[in-house]
Chain A
Amino acid sequence: MKKIFFIFLILLISNNIFVFLCGIFMQTKYYEHFNKMQGAYLLDSALVLAIHDFEDNNQPEINKEIIFNKKKIGYSINKIDDEKIYIKVYYKQKDKIIYREYLKNI
């Protein structure tokens, strides 16, 4: 009887450890998704700001860095010809720069 109870207790403990590890895995995955979503939101915002900036100022080259929602985001615009502009939007995450590049018809 004691032996069976001991085995049951071991199973319970190992299951608890497994549940704990699962929790850590879930939390890590959640942060990954959260960072991705936040990054996409920052880049989308930077793109809108860049397009508005180009439409307002119409300069062939624009480089700007701003603080948006406590994060550093930036964009650079280069006019390729009379029909197209090249836009690069980015944000800084620790030491990495996450960016997207676009080609836009004027």
Chain B
Amino acid sequence: MNKRKIVFLFTIIFISVVLQYIFFVFTLKTIDLFRIINIKDTFNKILLLSTNIESEIPGLKTDDNSFILSMPSVDINKAFIINNKDYIIINFNKLNLSFNLIPSEISARKNKSIKFINVKSADIKDCGFITFSCSINNEIIESIFYMNKNIYLFPDNFKVF
């Protein structure tokens, strides 16, 4: 191999490796972005199904790291049991963000939990509208949601819990 060929090959390999490294970093960032969008989607779906924000439920009171929502219970046919509520406790603790469903005794919904790990920060506040912010590594998402308290979304349309 002459010198020119070696330089040419080395350049090609160098460019290829650099491009792959850039792509790798980009992929990692995109994965974080998808994860964060997934968290926001889950919260949005839960919020759409919910009809109220609770400040406390028996045995638990909201604090800076937790948020409680309630939705009407459903029977086996997924019809609403209006006077009964299922609760969703959103809790952020030690890099874990969890959505826990606590159904009422007569609800057809089952006890379920959705957990997201390695979440850097999460904050939900009710100020008439609901502010939701969450970050994973350097990706941050901030959203504002409105809650329709008089509107019940049929649970058939969504599969969260």
Chain B positions within 8 Å of A, measured between CB atoms, are 13, 16-17, 20, 23, 27, 30, 34, 37, 41, 44, 80, 150-154, 156-157
Contact = CB atoms under 8 A, between A and B. Distances in A.
A103 B80 contact: yes
B157 A99 contact: yes
A100 interface: yes
Given A19-B20, A40-B44, A29 B154 contact: no
A26 interface: yes
A102 B27 contact: no
Nearest to B24: A19
A71 interface: no
A100 B153 contact: yes
Interface of A: 8, 12, 15-16, 19, 22-23, 26, 29, 33, 36, 40, 47, 87, 99-105
Which secondary structure characterizes the binding site on chain B?
helix
Q: Which of A8, A26, A40 has the most CB of B within 10 A?
A: A26
A25 to B, nearest CB: 10
Contacts of B30: 26
Given A12-B13, A33-B34, 4 more contacts: A8-B13, A16-B16, A22-B23, A33-B37
Nearest to B51: A105
A29 B30 CA distance: 10
Contacts of B150: 104-105
A36 B41 CA distance: 9
